[in-house]
């Protein structure tokens, strides 16, 4: 991983989110489990450099990586909720992603349990839970 970290340090900051997205997509599409955590770290770093008015591709990759690493759906959704709140992504693009794009963009089989929960809960209700403060 040292070589990978060194390579990413050489990327000019303005290009980092794009290079990160390309690399992370390769990790996702090829199901390279040993790189999931590192891809998640890089996506989180890239999000710091991207506008908050959209739900960028790196955020979408990050959601898939979180789902893929958390077999417990409720735990995974809590992590995703935290990321969405932390970065302040707007509701409409997040809703669109969970309602349709997630299943079109990424391999569905590893996260099929999430699809069932999201479908059963309804994307609208899921979005409300992401944007409503609740105390547990």
pLDDT digits (tens, 9 = 90+) for 63-95: 999 998 888 889 999 999 999 999 999 999 999
The answer as to whether 2 is a domain residue is no
- Residue among 40, 30, 95 at smallest CA distance from 64: 40
Domain contains 90: yes
Mean pLDDT of 52-72: 91
Q: Are 30 and 65 in contact (CB under 8 A)?
A: no
User: Does residue 46 lie within any of the structural domains?
Assistant: yes
In a domain, residue 29? The reply is no
Domain-located, residue 57: yes
Report the domain count for the chain.
1
- The answer to the question of residue 20 being in a domain is no
Alpha carbon 58 to its chain centroid, in Å, reads 7
Is residue 22 situated within a structural domain?
no
Residue with the bigger pLDDT between 80 and 103: it is 80
Report in angstroms the alpha-carbon separations of 39 from 66, 69, 119: 10, 12, 27
Residue 109's pLDDT is what? 65
**Domain range holding 83?**
38-136
């Amino acid at each position: 991983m040292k070589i990978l970290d060194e390579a990413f340090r050489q990327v000019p900051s303005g290009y980092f989110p794009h290079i990160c997205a390309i690399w992370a997509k390769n990790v996702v599409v090829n199901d390279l489990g040993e790189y999931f955590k590192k891809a998640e770290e890089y996506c989180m770093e890239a999000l710091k450099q991207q506008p908050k008015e959209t739900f960028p591709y790196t955020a979408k990759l990050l959601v898939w990586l979180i789902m893929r690493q958390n077999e417990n759906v409720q735990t995974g959704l809590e992590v995703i909720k935290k990321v969405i709140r932390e970065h302040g992504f707007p509701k409409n693009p997040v809703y669109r992603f969970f309602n349709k794009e997630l299943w079109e963009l990424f391999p569905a089989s590893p996260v099929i349990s999430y699809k069932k929960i999201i479908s059963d809960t309804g994307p609208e209700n899921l979005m409300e839970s992401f944007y409503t403060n609740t105390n547990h």
